[in-house]
Each structure stands twice: as C-alpha cells, then as structure tokens.
Amino acid sequence: MTNSDDKNADQNPEHHDPDFPGLDEDDHSLFGALEPTSSHFLARLRGYFLTGLIIVGPVAITIYVVWWFINLVDGWVKPLIPNSYLPDNFLPFNVPGVGLVFGIVGLMLIGALAANLFGRTVVSYGVILLDRMPVVRGVYRLLKQIFTTVFSKQGTSFKRVGLIEFPRKGLYVIVFVSGDPPGEVKEKLNGEELMTVFMPNAPNPTTGFVMFMPAKDVILLDMAIDDGAKLVISAGLVAPKQSKLKQLAEQVKKKQGAPTVVPPKEEEPAA
C-alpha cells in the first residue's frame, strides 16, 4: 500500500528532495519532465536517453567553450611571455591557462597605470593617434562605446523590460527600455513624453530595432533584464520564475476563501 504523502510529493512539481539540497525548482522539473510514463521498454530507454542528454549537454558545451577560450588566450599571450617564465619548460606536460593568468595580470597592471597622471597621458596620446587614422578610428570608437556601455559602472544599460504592440494591434513583443531619447528628438516631436526602447530579434538579441515611442504605449513589466533576455533567446521556451506572483495569488485566494465578518451596525441614539 502506497502512502498518500508519497503520492502527493511525487505529483507536486515544487517538491524538493532532501537528498539533493542544492537543486532548485528547475533542476527538479528537469528530472521529472522526461520521466517515461509508458511501461514499454524502448519508451523508457528513450526517456532515459533524453534526460541524460539534457543533463550532460549543457555541461559538455560549457566545458568546451571554456576550454576553447583558454586555448585561444594562451595562443595569443604565450608567445609574448619569456621562456624563463613558462612552466612548460620545467614540467614534462603542458599547463593550460598560463596565458590567461598572465593576460589577467597584465590587464590589471594596465588599469593601475591608467589610474595615475602618467598613464592617462600615455593613453590620451594613444587615443589621439588612433583618431587620426581614417579607417581605424571608426572601428575604435565603435568598440570603445560598446565596451564602455557593457562594463561601465555608470549604469548605462537597459532600465526595464516592457511590452509594445507589434506588428499590429493585439500582438505584443518584448522590448528593453534604454531611457530617455535625445533632446533633439523630443523637440522635433513636439515635446511628447517618449521612451527609447530596443526591440530584439529572437533568438539573436544582438540585432533588432531602436525606436522612440510614446511612454503611454509602453507597458512596463516587473521582469528582470536577465529574464527578459532568456525569454527572447529561447524563443519563449524559458519563462522566468513567477514565485512572487504565485505567492500573491495564494494570498488573494486565502482572502477570498476566508469568511467575511460584517461588523455590527451601531444603533442610532433615540431622538
């Protein structure tokens, strides 16, 4: 005879196994998503194969990308390192990641030198030299703007996630709110309250359209920027967690199910 608690635990997708305390809700749903329901032997083998592929695939691809990046940096940096500093000359095997370590240390030293007056002077002369080159200056300015936007601590990134109606009324797409449009755009459009939004193309969010839209036509969401990016990259397959919304919904249900107590009316004093 099966215990009813065990059945409820198996049917509840939010149940956390105490033997796997490090797994979150997505990991538990991953193990149960492709669990074979058929008793057929080949169907069960197919379910086990797909489950193993989902588990091993992301790990293998991550390891491959990291290994490729390490080898790429080693190929660039190792030729610049003197042989006396390479551990490969003292060990009978190749040590991966030496170029990456030296590259990180070199970037830190360059950043420390650029923080003082001498370093800023050298950097400014280098920028002036690049600005005088006809083709190189356009590429340099573009790359500098991209790196400054991505890695700057000044908050020059997307502010919110929103929805707009596109390509017709009744259809909505995800957009990222960049901020206020330039002043000239506001003046040309009669000073209407506008928002600068970026509408990415799925599944490649690096391409899309930059639009200046009326603020009243943008529906702002409480979704995080990372969750919005995941939703676009996965073509809507990976939805963000809505734990807060579930808690609010449960609270509303409890309030609706609780009996409402009507306070007694106060008796009016006799005239």
Q: What is the pLDDT of residues 165-206, one digit of tens each?
A: 988 888 899 999 988 888 788 777 776 788 889 999 888 887
For residue 227, is it within any domain? yes
pLDDT confidence of 252, banded at 50, 70, 90? low
For residue 92, is it within any domain? no
For residue 111, is it within any domain? no
More confident residue, 110 or 66: 66
User: What CA–CA distance (Å, rounded) separates 119 from 113?
Assistant: 5
H-helix or E-strand containing 14? none
For residue 195, is it within any domain? yes
For residue 234, is it within any domain? yes
For residue 85, is it within any domain? no
For residue 209, is it within any domain? yes
pLDDT value for 65: 94
For residue 222, is it within any domain? yes
Task: Find, among 242, 197, 238, the residue nearest to 217 by Cα.
Answer: 197
Give the pair of three-digit tokens for residue 203. Answer: 């599944």
More confident residue, 261 or 116: 116
Q: Structural domain of residue 203, as residue ranges?
A: 160-241
Calculate what percentage of the chain has a pLDDT beyond 70.
70
- pLDDT at 232 > cutoff 60: yes
Q: What is the mean pLDDT of the chain?
A: 77
Neighbours of 52 (CB within 10 A): 11
Q: Number of folded domains in the chain?
A: 1
pLDDT value for 206: 79
pTM: 0.54
